Amino acid sequence: MREGWDSQSASTNTSRVPESSAIDCAGPDYMGDAASQCASSACADTASETGEGNICECPDIQKSMRQSFRSLTFITYILAFHLAWACWPYLLYPRVVAIGETTLAYALVNIGIRLLVWVLPVWFYPRFVDRVDPVDYLKLRHRVRRGVVIALVLTAFNLAGSILRFGVPHPDMQRVTWNSVLGTSFLVGFIEEIPYRGFILQKLAERMNFWAANLITSLLFLSIHVPGWLALHLLRADTMATIFVFGFVMGIAFRYADSLWTPIIVHSTNDFLSFVVFKV
């Protein structure tokens, strides 16, 4: 009996993998062949223990797959968003402007389309892809008072600079329409800063340093305006430079204030001063 028991134990022990040879899936040596062994081991263990087939539960593999999915989703969003808005001045704008640029209906339709294309996808993305609260992620609830104060200071500097550059303004009431007040001025900051500084800049900053992320975001912000300028024959080098610099400054202001309300307010007041007050 003793010999039989010893031979059975020896047979069992030889089939076991020594603890020292076990692969640490989360360790620093998890790469190359070790990764393949880990994946095979994890899948085999899961299949034998749960009977659910080859479901790999190695944490690093799952993490890598999630990161790849989120990166692909983000790139898809960037391409779809910019492609959709590139079609706007050629397909929809001529029909919308036929309503009458000075009417409330035109302003509401224009704002509605921009909210649908610019804001709504960004609102859903953090909730359903990243599983986070979009208000918190976009920093609309974070340091609101600080963001507003910094925005007012920057707006005061902007107003002073505009007076020095263009002189004392003489507002033209013909420039005051429903759309120039609601769409082009006060809501433009909310509509444009949510996708760019609030979302795209933060997403890029998760993958690279802030300055590179801000540079790319500013170039994307510039590119979204180009189709409209081309369609309306308003493309000019100085305008392009201004929009790029403005976007870059908004990124810095967002980083310093740590609140999206700073670029939202500064953007809206800047466009109001430019299009309505100083008629730039």
**Helix, strand, coil percentages, rounded to 5, for the chain:** 80, 0, 20
Residue 53 φ/ψ region, left for φ over 0, alpha for ψ in the -120 to 50 degree band, beta for the rest: left
121 inside domain: yes
At residue 184 the predicted structure's pLDDT band, cuts being 50, 70 and 90, is: confident
10 inside domain: no
Is pLDDT above 70 for 114?
yes
What's the pLDDT score for residue 159? 95
185 inside domain: yes
The answer to whether residues 49 and 132 belong to one domain is no
pLDDT average, residue stretch 263-268: 98
DSSP annotation of 101 reads T
136 inside domain: yes
Nearest alpha carbon to residue 177 among 97, 276, 277: 276
Residue 205 CB contacts under 8 Å (≥ 6 apart), including other chains: 213, 214
The residue behind tokens 């492609």 is 83
The answer to whether residues 183 and 98 belong to one domain is yes
The residue behind tokens 């610099």 is 245
Please tell me the total count of domains within the chain.
Answer: 2
* Rounded distance between C-alpha atoms, residue 138 and residue 194, angstroms: 7
2 inside domain: no
Query: Over the stretch 195-215, which tens digit does the pLDDT of each residue have?
Result: 999 999 999 999 999 999 999
Final residue of a structural domain among 38, 57, 76: 57
1 inside domain: no
Sign of the CA dihedral running 114, 118, 123, 125: positive
Residue 60 backbone phi and psi in degrees, to 5: -65, -35
What's the pLDDT score for residue 197? 98
The answer to whether residues 210 and 245 belong to one domain is yes
163 to each of 93, 117, 170, 180, 278, how far by Cα in Å? 33, 35, 11, 21, 9
Burial of 150 (0-12, 13-18, 19+ CB in 10 A): buried
Indicate the range of 54-63, 221-230, 235-244 predicted with least confidence: 54-63
The answer to whether residues 161 and 218 belong to one domain is yes
78 inside domain: yes
The answer to whether residues 136 and 41 belong to one domain is no
239 inside domain: yes
* Rounded distance between C-alpha atoms, residue 153 and residue 144, angstroms: 14
The answer to whether residues 234 and 107 belong to one domain is yes
The answer to whether residues 272 and 221 belong to one domain is yes
The answer to whether residues 131 and 34 belong to one domain is no
Cβ(276)–Cβ(159) below 8 Å: no
* Rounded distance between C-alpha atoms, residue 234 and residue 232, angstroms: 5
The answer to whether residues 44 and 155 belong to one domain is no
What's the pLDDT score for residue 30? 38
Which helix (H) or strand (E) is 118 found in, with range? none
Domain that holds residue 199: 67-277
The answer to whether residues 162 and 39 belong to one domain is no
Query: Over the stretch 148-175, which tens digit does the pLDDT of each residue have?
Result: 999 999 999 999 999 999 898 877 777 7
Please give the share of the chain, as a percent, with pLDDT higher than 70.
Answer: 80
Is pLDDT above 90 for 59?
no
The answer to whether residues 188 and 116 belong to one domain is yes
The answer to whether residues 242 and 128 belong to one domain is yes
* Rounded distance between C-alpha atoms, residue 210 and residue 173, angstroms: 42
- Count CB neighbours of 131 within 10 A: 7
